[in-house]
Amino acid sequence: MEESEETCTDSSGMELRPWKTDPDVIRGWPVARTNVQLYNQLIDQGRPLNELILVRDAYRLAMQHYAGKYGSDCASFITHPVGVASIMTGLGYTTDYVVISVVHNIYVNADWGDGRGPGNWPSRRARVIECLGAGTEELLSRFLKLRVKRTSFPALLDEVDRMDAVDHALMTIEVADFWDKYCELAVSYYGVERWDISLAEKHRDDLVELARRLGHSALGDMLDQAIRTASDRQVPKELCGDTRWSKISMAPSLMMRPKVRLLMLLRPAIRKTRAYLRKLTR
């Protein structure tokens, strides 16, 4: 495989993309959907054992907190972060960013069992530090602040040119997040409107330009085509999901336990109470 001569370094001079690949390799590289497929992808690139173990630890952490969780397309939710990590692997980023990709949204939509809403709460950060280290947690919280919002464009395109190499790598995870949702047209099976998909359709040109400014023109071209295709695709509604966001599905034997049933009934009330108390203390 022909190697790209372009490298990316942070302020300390450390390479962020030492696993150089052809810029167009992502076009023919199937996106992983399981941990085993991701491991094979990393092994084929020759990554060392200590880095493979970091990815394994990240997967185990995500697996615990996404257990029983399904996406809007009714696919097991863990397949999405694995897919994002696979894309970052294919693009040649260091394993640190592959690890971040595996847990990239864990502060927002994972089930931590604490009854709290989205956020990098101290107890959650402590858990990530325990499993993956303080450096990984710092990057994860940094990524949380960089995520694309409804109001991000067009200002983001001006900001990205002033970002450092680390933020560029983290923003690439965001582009990979969108590509993973579109690469197999999973968005066509969501069944309900979601703000992130509406954003992608409205700001398709901006997302493509973002990918290009981050140095990934091939990925931008593929995202452009996929968004167009998904917008025109007609999928039988019987095959689509019926929920806007991810949801938890528990085994009947577990749901029959009185304590579990009671906790599930009380969970919405607990969240509202905690949200109200947070407002009072601000």
Per-residue model confidence as pLDDT tens digits over 67-105: 888 888 888 899 999 999 999 999 999 999 999 999 999
CA distances from 11 to 8, 25, 123, 125 (A): 10, 27, 30, 25
Those residues with Cβ within 8 angstroms of residue 92's Cβ, 6 or more apart along the chain or in another chain: 4, 17, 18, 19, 20, 21
Give DSSP secondary structure letters for 39-106.
HHHHHHTT--HHHHHHHHHHHHHHHHHTTTEE-TTSSBTTHHHHHHHHHHHHTT--HHHHHHHHTTTH
Q: Model confidence over 105-136: pLDDT tens digits?
A: 999 999 898 877 889 999 999 999 999 999 99
Q: 3-state class of 194 per DSSP?
A: coil
Show contacts of 111-114: CB within 8 Å, 24+ apart: 111/65, 111/66, 111/67, 111/68, 111/69, 111/248, 112/65
Cβ count within 10 A of residue 165: 17
Q: Model confidence over 167-203: pLDDT tens digits?
A: 999 999 999 999 999 988 888 888 788 888 889 999 9
- Looking at residue 12, its pLDDT comes to 40
- Looking at residue 6, its pLDDT comes to 43
**pTM confidence score:** 0.82
Those residues with Cβ within 8 angstroms of residue 262's Cβ, 6 or more apart along the chain or in another chain: none
**pLDDT range class, residue 11, cuts 50, 70, 90:** very low
Q: Model confidence over 20-55: pLDDT tens digits?
A: 555 555 666 689 999 999 999 999 999 999 999 999
Amino acid at 244: R
* Unique residue bearing structure tokens 């595996």: 102
